[in-house]
Chain A
Amino acid sequence: MLTKALANIGKYMLLMKSVFSRPEKRTVYYRQTIREIESHGLGSIGIITIISLFVGAAITIQTNFNIENPWLPRYIVGVTVRDSLLLEFSSTMVGLVIAGKSGSSIASEIGMMRVTEQIDALEVMGVNPAAFLILPKLIAMVLFLPLLCAISVTIGLLGGYLICLTSDVVPVSDYIYGIQYVFYPYYLTYAMVKTAFYAFIIASVAGYFGYRVEGGAVQVGKSSTRAVVLSSILILLADLILTKLILH
């Protein structure tokens, strides 16, 4: 079990080494990266918007419920909602949702290319398949996921605003005051850096699981499930480590 895990880590490292070797032709890689941004970045804005809207509203209600105390000013709810979204919710949400959405699609796409010999075809042409298939996805995700995180924070705050507007959780003016109260831009940087790490985990783990598939459609399915499970666990682990490292 342990030796197997170590062997996998070794193989993962070797794959990453070939992913980061010199591209045969920059323009082709560049064009591919744009395509990947379209499918894994722009294509995820919708789902992130919906989820963030609901989560933002729910956190607002919860926070209000938890700190209902006549001694505390009402705007504290706004402050807390903002900071929880920034520090934890948005980045983790984006990480886990995209791990499920893009992680499984990357692993199954590359896995299918493996079993239908498309990867062999690339190799015989003299293209480095690991780099050509994984690097553009990696770059696209590392660039775009932090942006998705920022979008998620914004939409989450909007969700809270809408719930204040439509029910009597917190007065709207207090909420608005709260979300602007003592804002550290550093928190946003922190959230986006964290998300960039998650993006790397998702793209590289999914790429690895897809790349080493052997067999047929069944193995491709299994591999993509494993990719999602493992990258989700790694994201939560990374969350813990990064939070401890950066916020203390």
Chain B
Amino acid sequence: MIHLKNIYKKFDEQWVLNDINLTLDKGKCNLIIGESGSGKTVLMKSIVGLVKVDEGEIWYDERDFNRMGKHEKQALRKEMGMLFQGAALFDSLTIEENVMFPLNMFTRETYNQKLKRVNFCLDRVGLKNVNKQLPAELSGGMRKRAAIARAIALSPKYLFCDEPNSGLDPRTAIRIDNLIHDITLEFDMTTIVNSHDMNSVLEIGDKVIYIYEGCKCWEGNREEVLHSDNKALNNFVFATKMAQKIKKADPT
């Protein structure tokens, strides 16, 4: 569980995060949705400490992130996995070396044990026969999946995914969504997913948080998202013609 209290962040006199209070639950996919530029990436980077917040507290279970020393933060980060918006695989390393990287850095296992773990993770995300390939030789969706494999290599307690399926075709997008959902349940992780894709919301949104212009505007689950009377949320959810038609056809 991750708990945020009164988070504020501004860039050049403009508030990007404004008084965010949140609880992100364990064993669930916590979806953060919002328009482009609403502050989702900044929020996620603030939670993992890549962006320093101006004010507010971040609690990882019983641990106060702001009060942690350098070494405690490093220890906590071994429990985190993160998928970046652009995958951020190390492009000088092969896929196998990429997934093995955290294992090399933080475990004392033998090469064969590590290789076994790497193959398990790659298999889990549905990647086969790409061990010796470089990230540049893979398609966008395969790169995202390899990055997920790297993120779960150390069996993290907290998994962060920044737009795991942006720029992918609907079928691959849903596969990646389901993959994230499955591993969340399987390993009982606290998973946070940034998205602006309504399909993801309906598919895996165990908990949905809507961010509007840097404020938390609405919170609920995938059932409630379609029936809320929050105006900003409705504009977001029913932005497309297709969604509007579905709403008309099914007024419940």
Chain A residues packing against B (C-beta within 8 Å): 24-25, 28, 113, 116-118, 120-121, 123-128
**Given that A25-B106, A118-B91 are known contacts, is A124 also in contact with B86, CB under 8 Å in the complex?**
no
Tell me whether B65 is interfacial, beta carbon within 8 Å.
no
Per a CB cutoff under 8 Å, which of A25, A28, A124 touches B80?
A: A124
Instruction: Give chain B's interface residue range (CB within 8 Å of chain A).
Output: 20 to 34
Tell me, rounded to whole Å, the shortest Cβ–Cβ distance linking A230 to chain B: 25
One digit per residue, 1 when the CB lies within 8 angstroms of any chain A CB and 0 when it does not, for chain B 103-124 equals: 0111000000000000000000
Q: Provide the residues of chain B in CB contact with A124, threshold 8 Å.
A: 48, 50, 77, 80, 82, 160
Q: Provide the residues of chain A in CB contact with B160, threshold 8 Å.
A: 124
Q: Give B78's nearest chain A residue, CB to CB.
A: A126
A-B contact pairs, 19 of them (CB 8 A): A116-B86, A117-B85, A117-B86, A118-B89, A118-B90, A118-B91, A120-B50, A120-B88, A121-B90, A123-B77, A124-B80, A124-B160, A125-B105, A126-B73, A126-B76, A126-B78, A126-B105, A126-B106, A128-B74
Question: Are B82 and A121 neighbours in the complex by a CB distance under 8 Å?
Answer: yes
Question: Are A118 and B106 neighbours in the complex by a CB distance under 8 Å?
Answer: no
Question: Are B77 and A126 neighbours in the complex by a CB distance under 8 Å?
Answer: yes
Tell me, rounded to whole Å, the shortest Cβ–Cβ distance linking A81 to chain B: 42
Tell me whether B242 is interfacial, beta carbon within 8 Å.
no
Q: Provide the residues of chain A in CB contact with B74, threshold 8 Å.
A: 24, 126, 128
Q: Provide the residues of chain A in CB contact with B102, threshold 8 Å.
A: 125
Q: Give A115's nearest chain B residue, CB to CB.
A: B86
Tell me whether B84 is interfacial, beta carbon within 8 Å.
yes
One digit per residue, 1 when the CB lies within 8 angstroms of any chain A CB and 0 when it does not, for chain B 67-98 equals: 00000011111101010111011110000000
Q: Provide the residues of chain B in CB contact with A25, threshold 8 Å.
A: 104-106
Q: Provide the residues of chain B in CB contact with A28, threshold 8 Å.
A: 104-105
Q: Provide the residues of chain A in CB contact with B85, threshold 8 Å.
A: 117
Tell me, rounded to whole Å, the shortest Cβ–Cβ distance linking A248 to chain B: 44
Question: Are A125 and B88 neighbours in the complex by a CB distance under 8 Å?
Answer: no
Number of A-B contacts (CB under 8 A): 53
Question: Are B75 and A126 neighbours in the complex by a CB distance under 8 Å?
Answer: yes
Tell me, rounded to whole Å, the shortest Cβ–Cβ distance linking A115 to chain B: 10
Q: In the bound complex, how far is the Cα of B106 from the Cα of A128, in angstroms?
A: 12
Q: In the bound complex, how far is the Cα of B77 from the Cα of A125, in angstroms?
A: 6
Q: In the bound complex, how far is the Cα of B86 from the Cα of A125, in angstroms?
A: 16
Tell me, rounded to whole Å, the shortest Cβ–Cβ distance linking B193 to chain A: 16
The 8 closest A-B pairs by CB, nearest first: A126-B77, A117-B88, A121-B88, A126-B74, A124-B82, A117-B84, A126-B78, A118-B88
Q: In the bound complex, how far is the Cα of B85 from the Cα of A163, in angstroms?
A: 60
Q: In the bound complex, how far is the Cα of B88 from the Cα of A125, in angstroms?
A: 12
Tell me, rounded to whole Å, the shortest Cβ–Cβ distance linking A52 to chain B: 30
Q: In the bound complex, how far is the Cα of B93 from the Cα of A121, in angstroms?
A: 14
Per a CB cutoff under 8 Å, which of B45, B50, B91, B105 touches A24?
A: B105
Q: Give A128's nearest chain B residue, CB to CB.
A: B74
**Given that A120-B50, A121-B82 are known contacts, is A127 also in contact with B88, CB under 8 Å in the complex?**
no
Q: Give B107's nearest chain A residue, CB to CB.
A: A25
Q: Provide the residues of chain A in CB contact with B75, threshold 8 Å.
A: 126
Tell me, rounded to whole Å, the shortest Cβ–Cβ distance linking B99 to chain A: 12
Q: Provide the residues of chain B in CB contact with A121, threshold 8 Å.
A: 82, 84, 88, 90
Q: Provide the residues of chain B in CB contact with A24, threshold 8 Å.
A: 74, 105-106
Q: In the bound complex, how far is the Cα of B101 from the Cα of A118, in angstroms?
A: 13
Q: In the bound complex, how far is the Cα of B106 from the Cα of A117, in angstroms?
A: 21
Per a CB cutoff under 8 Å, which of B45, B50, B105 touches A127?
A: B105
Question: Are B50 and A123 neighbours in the complex by a CB distance under 8 Å?
Answer: yes
Tell me, rounded to whole Å, the shortest Cβ–Cβ distance linking B226 to chain A: 34
Q: In the bound complex, how far is the Cα of B84 from the Cα of A28, in angstroms?
A: 24
Q: In the bound complex, how far is the Cα of B106 from the Cα of A24, in angstroms?
A: 8
Q: Give A120's nearest chain B residue, CB to CB.
A: B50
Q: In the bound complex, how far is the Cα of B91 from the Cα of A126, in angstroms?
A: 19
Q: In the bound complex, how far is the Cα of B86 from the Cα of A113, in angstroms?
A: 12
Tell me, rounded to whole Å, the shortest Cβ–Cβ distance linking B143 to chain A: 11
Tell me, rounded to whole Å, the shortest Cβ–Cβ distance linking B146 to chain A: 12
Q: In the bound complex, how far is the Cα of B239 from the Cα of A99, in angstroms?
A: 54
List 15 additional A-B contacts (Cβ < 8 Å) besides A121-B88, A126-B80.
Answer: A24-B105, A24-B106, A28-B104, A116-B88, A117-B84, A117-B85, A118-B88, A120-B45, A124-B50, A124-B77, A124-B160, A125-B78, A125-B105, A126-B73, A126-B75
Q: Give A119's nearest chain B residue, CB to CB.
A: B88
